[in-house]
Structure 1
Amino acid sequence: MNKLILPSLLFTLLFSCQSPQKEFTSFQDDVDFLRQYVDDLTVLKKGEALMAVSPSWQGRVFTTSLDGENGRSLGYYNQKLFKVGKADQQLSKAGGESRMWFGPEVGDFSIFFPPNVEQVGENMKVSADLDTLKFNTDETSNKQVIASNDMVIENAYGTSFTIHASRSIELFDVKTIEKNLGIQLQNGDKKSIGFETNTIIKNTGNTTWSKDTGLLPIWILGCFHPSEKQWAIVPTNSSELDTVTNYFTDQTGRVMIKKGVAFYKVDAGYLNKMGLPQKHIRPIMGSYSPEMNLLNIVVYSFDSDPNLLYVNSEWGKENNYDGDVMNIFNGEINLPLDRDWPFYEFESFSAAKELQPGEELQHKQSVYHFEGSKEELTPIAEQLLGVSLFDAPFN
């Protein structure tokens, strides 16, 4: 066979994992772009804290700013999908700083594969309502948006879940951020923004959901911009923690564990995902970017009852109900493998429950951003995450 010899630069561009471009995009630039495609894009405001949310796009938070209209846009969304006219027919791929999914991803009860097909990437197919259904606006104010609609979600077992799904998004003021997290923000020059999403699904069908035919937990995901020196920070309830769940690829050099805290590199330069099961969970995680002077905190609702079930979305596993409660996904740009994911992602799951007709399942997730010097942000990181930003891997 003849070998095709390419110049080294071209070879690098075509066949290596490419680091995402570190470009500054303002909040207003993203709002101007999104309003070309999203009719009901709504900007909530508390001082200089801004949030762009769409009720119809399933109560999606697209992005936020903690420094007004000209401040950095903090959420990632798939701008290319909008430009080619496919975003409103592939809502599951549109991204955003907070969006609603359901689980599990794989296994007997996956909602991302039809029945009787091999569970490989090329066979993935999202339930139609999750990909295309627009929500109705129930309420809007200067600090809150509520949207909902009826949905039918199908799984690989052949089960259909008939549900009413509702999303409430609330933008916090500074006093509420301080109260929620038990911190003080008045001193210094640090800036902040915080919001909460509350997702509720109700079984509107005629039968009780069964773990033998599949359950439907709420899965909340949020996409954020990476940076080369950025690490995620995941405190746990065990000082003896020595490993995290590994998805897709080898984690060597990308995970550090120190005194019960897992550090995970989020540079969007290497496809991988980590997670933690119920026994290790403290329902908080975060990340720190020295390039952006940005500390991110994510808090989610969690019940430590050991009898609760969490669906398994780890590829290749047989047990459907011993899955992770939280995940952090790290993307990459690798065009030959059709990967164009220049973001990382915070993810959390609700428990999976056998809902009777009329019963509801609820999951909350809050996102906070703090911008300031390392000296200003370290007390917040120490209080909430148990780490100093002056220690490894940040120095």
Structure 2
Amino acid sequence: MAFAKGTFGYDLDFLKQYHHDLIVLDDDDSGAAVIILPAYQGRVMTSTTDGMNGQSFGWVNQELIASRKTVEHMNAFGGEERVWLGPEGGQFSVYFKKGADFTFDNWFVPAAFDTEAFDVISVSQSQARFKKAMRLENYSGNTFDLEIDRTISLWDNKGIENLLGMVIPQGIKAVGFETVNGLTNTGTNAWDKKYGMLSIWILCMMNASDKTNVAIPYKQGDASILGKIVTDDYFGKVPAERLQAANGLILFKADANHRSKIGISPLRAMPLAVSYDATNQVLTVTQFSLQEGITDYVNSLWQIQEEPFAGDAVNAYNDGPINGSQMGRFYEIESSSPAAALQPGETMIHRNAVIHFTGDKESLNNISMKLLGVAVDAITL
């Protein structure tokens, strides 16, 4: 049976051609399912609320995967949830070699979390666990021996309800999964502000429509204490019609028509981001670890930094055309752990959960009101 493009079954059949060891977690009762690829670092490639014919939510770079090739700087295979490590730029970056200029020609995603497989530790119908030992060197020339321990769990509806503290309305279909990502210092050097620190960086690439918008709540308060609400100039300042921040809610257009990125500092961040695809009536919730009172987050700006631990806790990215070409029709929600000040043998844990709801607009409104205090029509620019 041939499945329609854009369905879970279509993406599953495609990925099976290139990855015979792929893992599917599924819930027989609800039709919820996710696809995980060990070869892509235990990456959740996509998910659905409704079985093989249900909509596929993760962006999959079929062209790159089908080429069976790897490229030099970064292999953008796609995937609804993957683990990277920060910082990306600065004197403690693990993406630039010591002394290199901070330009794209010198930027390389380390192979350990770009092209190398993670080891499969265990698999059941609802959970898969992976590990990967790595050695990385930062821009300052310091070496990091580490291990990532990553567990992916598919929830049933009761698990989703417990996480969000709400009852899923009748007629709504849902898929929810959580990743628990452990970062362990397996070396002999302490990680600190002088030596350099890493962070767990989770990136979620999801299919965009022309009517997709992101809503991120933020802590309101005095800018002299909490700083600016949002960083909006990663790739040039985001146009006003694409970004608004007022009354505790940031709205960001995620239609894959304009390349842009925003960031929220740990002083302003809350452990929640929501997006709404009005074209397909999909409400997506991302919830993640956020430790109250901890404000040291790695700074990923591509420059030597005066404040290398004044980075973002939450980011959103919208893809778009650049120089006549485009990576894909997707947007990203990103969450980060604090800078990992780990002694040898110590571990930091960062959790990230993604939940998709599909169904009638009135029921999706009820969920949005519960989580954000506004209806889905208010998540619109």
Rounded to whole Å, the distance in 2 between the matches of 1:89 and 1:172 is 36
2:287 counterpart letter in structure 1: V
Rounded to whole Å, the distance in 1 between the matches of 2:362 and 2:140 is 53
Q: Report Cα offsets for 1:239-268 as digits up to 9, x if no partner.
A: 678741111122121111231100000011
1:351 counterpart letter in structure 2: P
* 1:88 to 1:249, Cα distance in 2 relative to 1, 3 A: closer
Name the residue aligned to 1:177.
Answer: 160
Shift of 1:166: 1.1
Shift of 1:103: 0.5
Name the residue aligned to 2:253.
Answer: 265
Shift of 1:88: 9.4
Rounded to whole Å, the distance in 2 between the matches of 1:34 and 1:240 is 49
Q: What are structure 1's unaligned runs of at least 5 residues?
A: 1-22
Rounded to whole Å, the distance in 2 between the matches of 1:249 and 1:112 is 22
1:105, 1:313 within 8 Å by CA — same for their partners in 2?
Answer: yes
2:298 counterpart letter in structure 1: V
Question: Is 2:346 the partner of 1:359?
Answer: yes
Q: 2:214 aligns with which of 232, 236, 243?
A: 232
Name the residue aligned to 1:98.
Answer: 81
1:76, 1:223 within 8 Å by CA — same for their partners in 2?
Answer: yes
Rounded to whole Å, the distance in 1 between the matches of 2:221 and 2:26 is 40
Of 126-135 and 176-185, deviating more is 126-135
Shift of 1:320: 0.6
Question: Is 2:14 the partner of 1:27?
Answer: no
Shift of 1:91: 7.2
Question: Is 2:126 the partner of 1:143?
Answer: yes
Question: Is 2:375 the partner of 1:388?
Answer: yes
Question: Is 2:138 the partner of 1:164?
Answer: no
Rounded to whole Å, the distance in 1 between the matches of 2:221 and 2:371 is 16
* 1:123 to 1:379, Cα distance in 2 relative to 1, 3 A: same
Shift of 1:340: 1.7
Q: 1:42 aligns with which of 8, 11, 23?
A: 23
Rounded to whole Å, the distance in 1 between the matches of 2:222 and 2:284 is 25
Rounded to whole Å, the distance in 2 between the matches of 1:150 and 1:115 is 22
Aligned counterparts, 1:291-370, within 5 A: 291-306=279-294, 308-316=295-303, 318-334=306-322, 336=324, 339-370=326-357
Shift of 1:61: 0.3
Of 177-186 and 285-294, deviating more is 177-186
CA RMSD of aligned residues (A): 1.9
* 1:27 to 1:392, Cα distance in 2 relative to 1, 3 A: closer
Name the residue aligned to 1:211.
Answer: 193
Rounded to whole Å, the distance in 2 between the matches of 1:335 and 1:329 is 18
Name the residue aligned to 1:376.
Answer: 363
Of 49-58 and 354-363, deviating more is 49-58
Q: Report Cα offsets for 1:163-210 as digits up to 9, x if no partner.
A: 1111100000001111110111152x2111100001111111111112
Rounded to whole Å, the distance in 2 between the matches of 1:326 and 1:359 is 24
2:186 counterpart letter in structure 1: T
1:51 counterpart letter in structure 2: V
Task: Report the secondary structure of 1:74's partner residue.
Answer: coil
* 1:196 to 1:124, Cα distance in 2 relative to 1, 3 A: same
Task: Report the secondary structure of 1:333's partner residue.
Answer: coil
2:339 counterpart letter in structure 1: A
Name the residue aligned to 1:54.
Answer: 37
2:31 counterpart letter in structure 1: E
1:100 counterpart letter in structure 2: V
2:73, 2:108 within 8 Å by CA — same for their partners in 1?
Answer: no
Shift of 1:121: 1.5
Task: Report the secondary structure of 1:218's partner residue.
Answer: strand
Q: 1:125 aligns with which of 108, 117, 137?
A: 108
Rounded to whole Å, the distance in 2 between the matches of 1:301 and 1:92 is 27
* 1:90 to 1:63, Cα distance in 2 relative to 1, 3 A: farther
Of 286-295 and 158-167, deviating more is 158-167
Shift of 1:57: 2.4
2:259, 2:322 within 8 Å by CA — same for their partners in 1?
Answer: no
Rounded to whole Å, the distance in 2 between the matches of 1:235 and 1:376 is 21
Question: Is 2:47 the partner of 1:83?
Answer: no
When the two structures are aligned, how many residues end up with a matched partner?
Answer: 369
1:223 counterpart letter in structure 2: M
Q: What are structure 2's unaligned runs of at least 5 residues?
A: none
Name the residue aligned to 1:223.
Answer: 205
Name the residue aligned to 1:279.
Answer: 267
Of 150-159 and 290-299, deviating more is 150-159
1:312, 1:322 within 8 Å by CA — same for their partners in 2?
Answer: yes
1:387 counterpart letter in structure 2: V
Of 270-279 and 152-161, deviating more is 152-161
* 1:139 to 1:72, Cα distance in 2 relative to 1, 3 A: same
Shift of 1:89: 8.4
Rounded to whole Å, the distance in 2 between the matches of 1:65 and 1:88 is 29
Rounded to whole Å, the distance in 1 between the matches of 2:115 and 2:260 is 27
2:74, 2:108 within 8 Å by CA — same for their partners in 1?
Answer: no
Name the residue aligned to 1:13.
Answer: none
